[in-house]
A and B are shown apart, each in its own frame.
Chain A
C-alpha cells in the first residue's frame, strides 16, 4: 500500500529538527557552511544533506511573510529519475518510495537533470566521471520495518505526519478545509501523485514549489522513442548486411562456376 509523508507548512516552526534527525539516522556527515545572514542552513541539498528547510521572505499585501518549505525528495509516482536511469539503479517500492541501489549507480547524473524538483545530488569527480547519486529515500529501512521516517518521528510541532497515503490525503484535505482562505494541498495530483503532501496557505510560487511539475519530454523521447528506434535501425542495418553477404557470396561462387 502507498505511504506518504504529510508536511503542514502552517504548523512548521522551522526548528530544523528534521534536518538533524535525517543526518543522524542516515549517518550523513555535517557540512561546514558560511553564515549568510539567514537561519537557512545549509544553503542547498547535497549528497550528505538529503533534507533541508527553505526559508523565504515574501512581501504581500499584509506585510512580510516568512515561509518555511520542506526540501527533500517528493517520491513522485511519475518519477523522472526512475524513467531516465540507464542502469535501473533508481527504483520505486510498492509503497511509493523512490530509492537508489548505489551498487548499480554509474554516476551518470541523468537523474539529477531529469528531476523536476532538483533533488538528486552526485558525490564524485567531475573529471573522471566516477560518482554516486544520493538523495532522501524516505528512510526506506525504517518504513520497511514498520517505523515512520526519522524526520517525522522527531518533528516537535507535529508539522510532519506519516501513514497510508489515502489517510494522509484525507487528513490534508481536512486541514485545508479547516484553514480555509488560501490554503491548499500540493502533491495529491502532481506527477500522478507525490508521496510527500504539502499543506500550505501561501501561493505555491512563494514557496518556490513548481505549479505544474512534469518530467521533461526529452526524458520520454529518449527512453520510449529514441532507444527503440536505435535498436530498430541497428537491427535493420545488421540484417541488411547479413543478407548482402549471403547474396553477394552466392553470386560470386556462381559466377566462378560459370567460367
Chain B
C-alpha cells in the first residue's frame, strides 16, 4: 500500500484545540498553587491570580469564537459527544484488553471519535461549564453572594478540577504517550493520519472518508462542477 494520508482535523479545529489546551494548562497550574500548600509560595504576591484570569478569558472566548465561526461543526460535535449506543458499551468492555494487551479483535469499529474520546469530551464539556460558571461568580459576584454560596462555588470549582484534571491526565497520556496511539498527537498537530492508522483506530469513519475519496476520484469532473456551484 502506498503511503496515503487522510485529514483528521481541520486547521480551525487544531487551532481551537491547542488554544484551549494552553489556557487549560495555565489555569490548572496557577490553580494548583492554591490547591497544594507546598506550592503556595509561588502564589504569594498574587501574580498567578492575574495570569489565571487572563487564561480564563481565553478559555471562555476560544469556544465562543469557534462557535461563531463554525456553528455547524460545533453543533455536530456537541451532538456527537452526547450520542451513545450499543457500540460504546462494547468498546468500554473491550477497552482494557486493548489498552493493556493490544487485543483489537473485540473493539468495534469507531467513528472519528471513539467512545473514550467522547467520554473525555463530555467530562471536559461539563467541567468547563462548571469552571466558567463558578469562576465568574468567584471573580465578579463575590460581594453579592452570601458567604455560604461562595464557599460552595469554591467547592464546585475544585470538584471540576479533580474530575476534569484526572481525565485530562488520561487524555494527555492516551493522546501523546500510550505506545499504541502512534498518530494521535500527529493528527492534532498536522491534521492528518495515515490510512492504516485511520482504518485500525477509526474504522467507521475511515470507511466514509474512503468512500468520499473514491467518489471524488471516480467522477472528478462531476465533483468539480458540484463544488463550483
Question: B155, A226: Cβ atoms under 8 Å?
Answer: yes
Question: B154, A110: Cβ atoms under 8 Å?
Answer: yes
Question: A237, B170: Cβ atoms under 8 Å?
Answer: yes
Question: A234, B140: Cβ atoms under 8 Å?
Answer: no
Q: Does B48 contact A (CB under 8 A)?
A: yes
Question: A130, B49: Cβ atoms under 8 Å?
Answer: yes
**Given A87-B44, A227-B35, A252-B102: A222 and B178 within 8 A (CB)?**
no
Question: A249, B147: Cβ atoms under 8 Å?
Answer: no
Q: Does B166 contact A (CB under 8 A)?
A: yes
Q: B44 to chain A: which residues have CB within 8 Å?
A: 87, 103-106
Question: B165, A128: Cβ atoms under 8 Å?
Answer: no
Of B19-27, B156-164, B207-215, the segment with at least 4 beta carbons within 8 Å of chain A is B156-164
A78-127 residues at the B interface, CB under 8 angstroms: 86-88, 103-110, 112-115, 118, 124, 126-127
Q: Which of A107, A128, A132, A234 meets B169, CB within 8 Å?
A: A234
CB nearest to A217 among chain B residues: B151
Q: Does A2 contact B (CB under 8 A)?
A: no
Q: A230-B162, A241-B169 are in contact. List 4 more A-B contacts (CB 8 A).
A: A218-B152, A222-B155, A230-B158, A244-B100
Q: Does B93 contact A (CB under 8 A)?
A: no
**Once the chains are docked, how many angstroms separate the CA of A222 from the CA of B150?**
12
Q: Does B221 contact A (CB under 8 A)?
A: no
Q: B101 to chain A: which residues have CB within 8 Å?
A: 247-248, 251
Question: A86, B147: Cβ atoms under 8 Å?
Answer: no
Question: B180, A248: Cβ atoms under 8 Å?
Answer: yes
Question: A222, B154: Cβ atoms under 8 Å?
Answer: yes
8 contacts between A and B (CB under 8 A): A86-B37, A118-B147, A130-B46, A130-B47, A218-B154, A221-B155, A248-B101, A251-B101
Chain A nearest CB from B221 CB (Å) reads: 46
Interface residues on A, range: 35 or more
Question: A251, B40: Cβ atoms under 8 Å?
Answer: no
Question: B34, A226: Cβ atoms under 8 Å?
Answer: no
Q: B43 to chain A: which residues have CB within 8 Å?
A: 86-87, 106
Question: B180, A252: Cβ atoms under 8 Å?
Answer: yes
Chain B nearest CB from A47 CB (Å) reads: 14
Chain A nearest CB from B153 CB (Å) reads: 9
Q: Does A219 contact B (CB under 8 A)?
A: yes
**Given A128-B53, A129-B139, A234-B162: A86 and B40 within 8 A (CB)?**
yes
Q: Does B1 contact A (CB under 8 A)?
A: no
